[in-house]
Amino acid sequence: MEFKIQAEKNLLALKANPYPGRGIIVGLDETGEYLVQVYWIMGRSENSRNRVFVISVGGELKTAAADLKKVKDPSLIIYKAMAEVPYKFAVSNGHQTRDALFERDLGRSLKNWEYEPDKPNYTPRITAICSLDCENPHTTEISILKKSPFNGICDRYLYNLEISERGVGYCVTTYSGDGDPLPSFSGDPYLLPLVGDIKIISQTIWNVLNEGNRVSLAVKFINIKTKETSIEVINKYNVVR
């Protein structure tokens, strides 16, 4: 099918990109039984690379320092990346994750949030939610909050997307490539393949991320019928005890 061919082409483009930064994918697995949420982080500085993903109770995923002695500024690198309440599941690249769960739509949930204040990059905040409290669960909302190219205003992009096609998902990232300052992501969410089980999807996405800059990756499977979740994590670095 044409959309699957495009998803594979996009995967090759992601592999060729040395620094897409943090990324989110939301889609449906090949069986149609699971909603899939993917989140990864990358880093160029020692502070950004000094992280691991940690799974906590209640289907939550957090970032944590690999070596506490090397932490310089935790404000933008330590946060909850995946969270859930009954029938609703959020993933984001910052402290906005919990807020994304508590309004009727993502635009309202994030009305008080803007892009990150990390001058000169002004990293976009990317967020996605999935809801399973309706008869048609195959939709997602994806938000991108990024700095206007003209001034300090926050440009707000909100997508309501169908994810009924099996084996693919929609992806957004924080950056479009490497640079100084880093160029923000531009364009609309694009398709990537979600082929295989949770371990295979994890390895597929991990293997296309730049080896020198990738830090951690997590894949969450959400059973559409039972609402039960499982998370697979890959960390480049080990926790220093």
Domain boundaries defined on the chain: 2-235
Q: How many CA atoms lie within 13 A of 168 on its CB side?
A: 21
Sign of CA dihedral 206, 210, 214, 220: negative
Residue 135: its pLDDT value, please?
A: 57
Residue 167: its pLDDT value, please?
A: 97
Nearest to 217 by CA among 47, 33, 63: 63
Q: 54-81, pLDDT tens digit by residue?
A: 998 888 999 999 999 988 888 888 999 9
Sign of CA dihedral 219, 101, 78, 192: positive
Q: In what order do the strands lie in the sheet with 80-85?
A: 51-56, 60-65, 80-85, 88-92, 125-131, 139-147, 154-162
DSSP state, residue 166 = T
Q: 160-190, pLDDT tens digit by residue?
A: 999 889 999 999 999 999 999 999 999 999 9
Q: What is the mean pLDDT, run by run of 10 residues, along the chain of 241 residues?
A: 93 98 97 97 94 91 94 88 95 97 92 96 97 75 97 97 94 97 97 98 98 98 94 95 77
Are 51 and 208 spatial neighbours (Cβ–Cβ below 8 Å)?
A: no
- The whole-chain average pLDDT of the chain stands at 95
Residue 241: its pLDDT value, please?
A: 77
Other Cβ atoms less than 10 A from the Cβ of 230: the count is 13
pTM over 0.85: yes
Residue 134: its pLDDT value, please?
A: 66
2-235 sits in which CATH class?
A: alpha beta
